Amino acid sequence: MTRPATAWTALDAALRGLRLDGALFFRAEFTEGWAYRSPAPDELVRILRPGARRLIVFHIIAGGTCWARARSGERLWAREGDVVVVPYGEQHAMGGAETAEEVPILELLDPPPWRTLPVLRHGAGGGRTDIVCGYLHSDHPLFNPALRALPPLFVVRPPEGPAATWIRSSIDYALAAGSPAPGTDRTATKLSELVLLETLRLHLATAPAIDTGWLAALADPVLAPVLARMHAAPDHHWTVQQLADTVAVSRSVLDERFRQVLGRSPIRYLADWRMHLAENLLATTGHSVAAVAHRVGYDSEEAFSRAFKRAHAVAPGTWRREQLTGTGHRDQHGHRHH
């Protein structure tokens, strides 16, 4: 599904407007078998950014393969060059291919403050996975867990090209010996911001209405509560009346507001949002096409497959194989042409 250039301009402009600040906070060398569990969000804030309401956490996979899982979610697999994003800083776990006990990560790190970027080494001595971890802080509604605009944890796989090359060079910088303490190196701090912005740009490229006012809609007093309900339960058979009741407006007022800010009706937005979620599930989980269809609100695999093919010109199974093999021609923005 190719997006017009104006959509990318709007997305880039919107993301540039995000106010972010943070740092890299450790790098890790894990060997099979290994697994760890992150601190609870409030504990993470206390250690890294006292006074903040929440933090955004990201993990760049510098080498190897691993899984990541939000506390209430499933395992998503990531490989070298991928970026794992935990947009609301929720407690999560990561691990390798072999079974291992999840160890609290604070037991593996020296207590702060850190004079240099901590290097965490953990595991049973098998195959190695290198990870660079960072955090950022932002008060933008995009990172408000109540709106659920983003999954609690997701994996971004940059397409071959400038984005992947740039993230790779960022990894090399972060892995350089003698890295200073987290938050003390302005270059590393800016690096965290740029990596997250690029990762969000890639992830949101298929989100509905990015070319109009999606980020602004998250702060809209009428649209934000309605979007929150859709995002929380995309498999629910919503009616416009149910959604309008959420904010005590008429169906016509809600429909007009959606068209004005998001460029589409509420039900069309819901259909586009379901397709966005389906892409994520197909790319990062082993769920069957039927299971993905059910998770995003389709009554049958056949109905989902028809809708998916209308949006992507290929069936879900074919699209998934292309994601895994990297086949197909991509344009300058990383979108595939068939």
Looking at the fold, whether 255 and 123 belong to one and the same domain comes out as no
32, 33, 37, 104, 290 from 101: Cα distances, Å? 11, 9, 9, 10, 32
How much is the pTM? 0.72
d(CA 257, CA 262): 8
Non-local (6+) Cβ contacts of 101 within 8 A are 35
Query: In the structure, what pLDDT confidence band is assigned to residue 5 with cuts at 50, 70 and 90?
Result: very low
Domain closes at, from 145, 173, 204: 204
Choosing from 147, 180, 204, the residue where a domain stops is: 204
Q: What does the pLDDT look like over 82-138, one tens digit per residue?
A: 999 999 999 999 999 999 999 999 888 877 767 777 888 999 999 999 998 888 888
**CA distances for 258 relative to 170, 237, 316, angstroms:** 39, 18, 28
Q: Is 311 found in the same domain as 164?
A: no
CATH number at residue 128: 2.60.120.10
- Average pLDDT, rounded, for the chain: 82
CATH number at residue 262: 1.10.10.60
Are 177 and 268 in the same domain? no
Q: Tokens 């058979």 appear where?
A: 237
- Kindly list the distances between the CA atom of residue 56 and the CA atoms of 14, 21, 192, 321, in Å, as whole numbers in the listed order: 18, 10, 11, 30
Clarify whether residues 69 and 112 are in a common domain. yes
Decide which of 204, 233, 250 is a domain's last residue: 204
* Residue 237 shares a structural domain with residue 160: no
- Is 337 a residue whose pLDDT tops 50? no
Please check whether residue 243 lies inside any domain of the structure: yes
> Do 24 and 129 fall within a single domain?
yes
pLDDT tens per residue across span 276-330: 889 888 988 889 999 999 999 999 999 999 999 998 899 999 999 887 766 543 3
**111 and 174 fall within a common domain:** yes
**Report for 74-83, 108-117, 156-165, 217-226: range of highest mean pLDDT:** 74-83
Would you say residue 262 has pLDDT above 60? yes
Is the same domain home to 218 and 308? yes
- Do both 189 and 56 map to the same domain? yes
Q: Are residues 49 and 194 in the same domain?
A: yes
Domain span at residue 83?
A: 18-204
pLDDT at 53 over 70: yes
Q: Is residue 338 part of a domain?
A: no
Q: CA–CA separation, 199 vs 22, rounded Å?
A: 15
- pLDDT > 90: what percent of the chain? 41
Residues 292 and 251 in one domain: yes
Same domain, 183 and 50: yes
How many angstroms separate the CA atoms of 164 and 276, rounded? 21
Q: In this structure, are strands 92-95 and 65-70 parallel, antiparallel, or unpaired?
A: antiparallel
